[in-house]
Amino acid sequence: MLFYFDTDESASPFDILMAYDAGYDEVVPYQSVTAEKTKDLVQDAIFPRGPEGVKHTSFFIGGADVQEVKKILENTKEAMFPPFEASVMVDPRGSNTTASAMVAKVEKGLAEIGEIGLDDKKVTILAGTGPVGRVAAMLCANEGADVTITSRHEDKAKNISEELSEECGHEIKGVRASSDEEVYEAIKDADVILSAGPEGIRIISEDVLEKLEGKTRMVADVNAVPPTGVANLDPNDDVKEIKDGIYGIGALAIGNLKRKAERALLIRTKDSDKGIFDHQEAFEAVKEELEMPEAAPKVS
């Protein structure tokens, strides 16, 4: 059984259907879940079937409120103890699996154009203070990239970059990018540009894109709603050269992999007696879907 805790007013039909497709016999959704409610819900779910039965029980924590999801996760972990432990998947509004799919597609795309991974690459994540951008920033930093996130507000960019740096153990920088000029300044030296903005918002204009020509770059966008986040980049593009030397990956190419990643992560959660399945596990699942080799250990 899967107990699905959603912070939103309505539990996500997308996630519920994905869970059934992953092989769960029953999915029990709870909406408007808060951290305060978590302990009672978790313990009501893990005690009835005893130490053996709890091995066939899993939890999925989702919803748009990322900070509340973090608190729910902590309270879920605190509510469990041996032998009453269950597996827990975390994917707030799909941000872990979407970010994992985007970063993995970029790494694979770099290999296709003769580049090698993200190690030592300069990565700028536009609108990087949202759920997808935050996770993508940590994944890229963990892969050895020099990461910068942007926001329309400088204080927000710097505050969140500091939070992310502390969480992942790697420096992540934050800068303001609220105009074409500031967007260009933020991405002009980047090898990889990730557009993680909201639906229907153009972040990289045609004028900015033209200024970027002349250096090999990979650009990825998670916005499939017109206008897309990047000029000239169609949602279906998959490592397509959209300007001289600039290769693009569109939102639907990323989304197709995101769905596979979520299903794979749900299966991992279902097949495990215990454990936390978060953005790192999602990234591993995506790499398996793409049949990407594990990165070699870094030599200091």
Task: Parse the chain into domains and list their residue ranges.
Answer: 2-90, 98-254
Question: Quick one: tokens of 3?
Answer: 């107990």
User: What's the confidence (pLDDT) of residue 296?
Assistant: 42
Give CA–CA dist 163/142, Å, rounded.
15
Instruction: Give residue 116's pLDDT.
Output: 85
Terminal Cα distance for the chain, rounded: 45
Query: In the CATH scheme, what is the code of domain 98-254?
Result: 3.40.50.720
Q: Which of 230, 296, 244, 282 is nearest to 102 (CA)?
A: 282
Rounded to whole angstroms, the Cα distance separating 137 from 287 reads 17
Q: Output the CA angle 15-98-188, nearest 5 degrees.
A: 160
Q: Taking a C-beta distance cutoff of 8 angstroms, is the pair 233, 221 a contact?
A: yes
Give residue 292's pLDDT: 66
What pLDDT is attached to residue 298? 43
- pLDDT tens by residue, 223-262: 999 999 999 999 999 999 999 999 999 999 999 999 999 9
Q: Write the pLDDT tens digit of every residue in 123-155.
A: 999 999 999 999 999 999 999 999 999 999 999
Give φ, ψ of 297 to 5 degrees: -60, 140
Taking 50 as the pLDDT cut, the residues of the chain under it are: 295-300
Q: Which pLDDT score is estimated for 113?
A: 94
Cβ proximity of 183 and 208 under 8 Å: yes
Contact 68, 34 (CB under 8 A): yes
Task: State the pTM of this model.
Answer: 0.94
Say how many residues make up the chain: 300
CA distance 273 to 285: 18
> Please, what CATH class does the domain formed by 2-90 belong to?
alpha beta
Q: Which of 98, 79, 99, 68 is nearest to 39 (CA)?
A: 79
Maximal C-alpha separation, the chain: 63
β-strands 122-126, 172-176: how paired?
A: unpaired
